[in-house]
Amino acid sequence: MISIKWLTQLAQSIDTLNEWVGRLSAWLILAMTLLITHNVIQRYVFNHSWVGLQELEWHLFAMSFLLGAAYTLKHDQHVRVDILYQSRLMTPVRRAWVNLFGSLLFLMPFCLLMIYSAWPFVSNAYWQAEGSPDPGGLPQRWILKSAMLWGFGLLFLQALSQAIQEALFLWGKAPPPAEDLEHDVSKEDLY
């Protein structure tokens, strides 16, 4: 039998992992910004550019996007249709049901499908030692491609954490999710 304490610790561990990875991806954005600045100065001031550094720009962008997706979900900053979700009709309990079913029926299966689909793509790149087709480009393209596996894996874990937290709230074993604590919610407003 899975205990509530174990589920809570699992959700907290996933949240901690994605918080750490999300902060790391923020540093990737800073690195990408500095790299772009360097490349622009090299190109327009010194009339020189390196293909490898240009490719590194979009590698850093892709990695920050893929690795930051779970962090974005954790902080409820992802894209959603807020017209109904933020209305007065959507009580915290209704939101919890939407989040729970959205995670279980849509997000988690989608993440698994993406991991399953990306696996051969990454595996082939690794075994063929795929590199850039451009002269002076970056080698080991499998590293970038493996970010798809990591990104969707972390997103799957965050969806699992969200589902656990919403289920615990619905079972009365946890307080309302953080998004509902931002508003003054009385006991009557929960339902």
Q: What is the pLDDT of residue 149?
A: 95
Each residue's pLDDT tens digit, 148-189: 999 999 999 999 999 999 999 988 877 776 655 444 454 445
- In the predicted model, is pLDDT for residue 36 greater than 90? yes
Dihedral sign computed on CA atoms, order 137, 141, 143, 147: positive
What pLDDT, on the 0 to 100 scale, is given for residue 78?
A: 72
Task: Give CA angle at 7 (4, 10), nearest 5°.
Answer: 150
Question: What CA–CA distance (Å, rounded) separates 115 from 19?
Answer: 21
Q: What pLDDT score does 83 carry?
A: 67
pLDDT in tens, 44-100: 999 888 888 888 998 899 999 999 999 999 988 777 666 666 667 778 888 888 889
pLDDT score of 38 more than 80:
yes
Give the DSSP per-residue string, the chain. Answer: ---HHHHHHHHHHHHHHHHHHHHHHHHHHHHHHHHHHHHHHHHHTSS---HHHHHHHHHHHHHHHHHHHHHHHHTT-S---HHHHTSTT--HHHHHHHHHHIIIIIIHHHHHHHHHHHHHHHHHHHHTT---SSTT--S-THHHHHHHHHHHHHHHHHHHHHHHHHHHHHTTSSPPPHHHHTS---TGGG-
For the segment 18-37, the average pLDDT, to the nearest whole number, is 93
More confident residue, 142 or 148: 148
Structure tokens at 41: 């100065």
pTM as predicted: 0.84
Instruction: Examine the pLDDT at 116 and tell me if it is beyond 90.
Output: yes
The whole-number average pLDDT for the span 97-115 is 94
Burial class (CB in 10 A: 0-12, 13-18, 19+), 141: buried
